[in-house]
């Protein structure tokens, strides 16, 4: 049996299969099998009120899962699927409450990864899959991340290599009168507005409950402090002088204006590209690497406050530990 056939057998038998997507790895189960769905919540430690995204094989399959599908849904689906966009639509009556968290809506997407597209075509159903991490933790972008996080509790991991986009899909709510973005991602608000020919509402106007948008999410085990450049270097200097072990994620090497004889010595120091797509692709893998037992914290330089960086900033802000008082 090849890898796809094995994954297919597990899915058909109600088992859990980790699937590669272009965004992050998903913890997949047959979206029509209540026992398998319950197992997803159990393994993730996720509240049953937090609904799942159903991954479907084709645009036509929307009709198996949703009703009253607006013209806008088909427009964006044709423009961006397969791709990192999830649509919230009115649920079809046949959809299980375990998928939707008993809400009247459902989340759907066609992921853009060759292995998972082939798996979906052969499965010919829907695969419900949240990100394959425990609740509130960093999303996995490699098969190794999934194995390290979930171990034997996942029945099979379909290894599709590292994820190209690196952060979760953009979520667009089309179930209400006005389209709204509930989670920013690689598909930008601008790109959606161009196709929809209308302004999008932000999530604050939406009545929908998105438990995944609770403040603390996507977090490493160690405290992560998101700091503006000047504070970042001051803090790094301070921790070094106190001989405290820390890790650092910044855009640049030591700034020129700093005296050469001043020493910053993080345990690990990763410098990120100044391009938001390349930054997103590496982000979770880098945070996984920096989340080491031996350090006291992770210092991260704030990305620019511009729309291009919105999705990355959103993930970093959720990963960050709130600073109730100055670090020193």
Interaction of residue 86 with ligand TXA, rule CB under 6 A: yes
E strands, the chain, in order: 17-19, 26-30, 53-55, 66-67, 85-91, 105-109, 127-128, 156-157, 170-173, 180-183, 201-202, 224-227, 246-250, 268-271, 297-301
Q: To the nearest whole angstrom, how small is the minimum distance from the Cβ of residue 96 to Mg ion? A: 20
Beta-sheet pairing, 85-91 with 66-67: antiparallel
Interaction of residue 111 with ligand TXA, rule CB under 6 A: yes
b/e sequence 287-321, b meaning 16+ C-beta within 10 Å: bbebbbeebebbbbbbbeeeeebbbbbbbbebbbe
2: which 2 tokens?
């090849």
Nearest residue to ligand TXA, using CB? 212
Q: To the nearest whole angstrom, how small is the minimum distance from the Cβ of residue 107 to ligand TXA? A: 3
Residue 21 contact among ligand TXA, Mg ion, none, beta carbon within 5 to 8 Å by kind: ligand TXA
Contact residue for ligand TXA among 40, 62, 88, 248 (CB under 6 A): 88
Contact residue for ligand TXA among 168, 281, 286, 314 (CB under 6 A): 168
Q: To the nearest whole angstrom, how small is the minimum distance from the Cβ of residue 246 to ligand TXA? A: 28
Rounded (10°) CA dihedral 79, 85, 88, 89: 30
Nearer to ligand TXA, 232 or 288 (CB): 288
Q: To the nearest whole angstrom, how small is the minimum distance from the Cβ of residue 146 to ligand TXA? A: 11
* Chain contacts with ligand TXA (rule: CB under 6 A): 21, 23-24, 26, 50-53, 84, 86, 88, 100, 103, 105-107, 111, 129-131, 168-169, 171, 182, 208, 210-213
């Amino acid at each position: 049996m090849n890898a796809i056939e094995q994954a297919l057998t597990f899915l058909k038998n109600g088992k859990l299969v980790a699937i590669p997507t272009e965004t992050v790895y998903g913890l997949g189960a047959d979206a029509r099998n209540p026992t398998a769905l319950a197992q997803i919540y159990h393994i993730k430690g996720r509240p049953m009120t937090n609904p799942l995204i159903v991954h479907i094989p084709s645009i036509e399959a929307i009709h198996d899962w949703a009703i009253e599908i607006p013209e806008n849904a088909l427009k964006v689906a044709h423009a961006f699927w397969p791709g990192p966009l999830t649509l919230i639509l009115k649920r079809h009556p046949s959809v299980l409450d375990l998928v939707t968290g008993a809400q009247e809506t459902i989340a759907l997407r066609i992921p853009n990864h060759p292995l998972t597209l082939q798996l979906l075509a052969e499965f010919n159903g829907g695969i419900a899959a949240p990100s394959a991490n425990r609740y509130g933790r960093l999303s996995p972008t490699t098969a190794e991340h999934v194995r390290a996080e979930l171990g034997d509790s996942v029945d099979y991991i379909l290894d599709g290599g590292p994820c190209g986009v690196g952060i979760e899909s953009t979520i667009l709510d089309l179930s209400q009168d006005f389209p709204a973005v509930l989670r920013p991602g690689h598909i930008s608000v601008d790109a959606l507005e161009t196709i929809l020919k209308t302004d999008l509402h932000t999530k604050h106007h939406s009545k929908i409950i998105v438990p995944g948008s609770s403040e603390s999410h996507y977090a490493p085990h160690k405290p992560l402090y998101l700091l503006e450049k000047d504070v970042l270097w001051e803090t790094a200097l301070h921790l070094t002088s106190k001989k405290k072990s820390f890790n650092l994620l910044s855009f640049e090497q030591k700034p020129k204006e700093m005296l050469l004889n001043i020493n910053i010595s993080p345990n690990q120091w990763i410098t990120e590209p100044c391009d938001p797509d390349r930054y997103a692709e590496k982000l979770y893998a880098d945070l996984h690497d920096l989340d080491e037992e031996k350090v006291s914290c992770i210092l991260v330089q704030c990305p620019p406050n511009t729309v291009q960086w919105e999705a990355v900033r959103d993930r970093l802000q959720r990963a960050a530990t709130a600073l109730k008082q100055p670090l020193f």
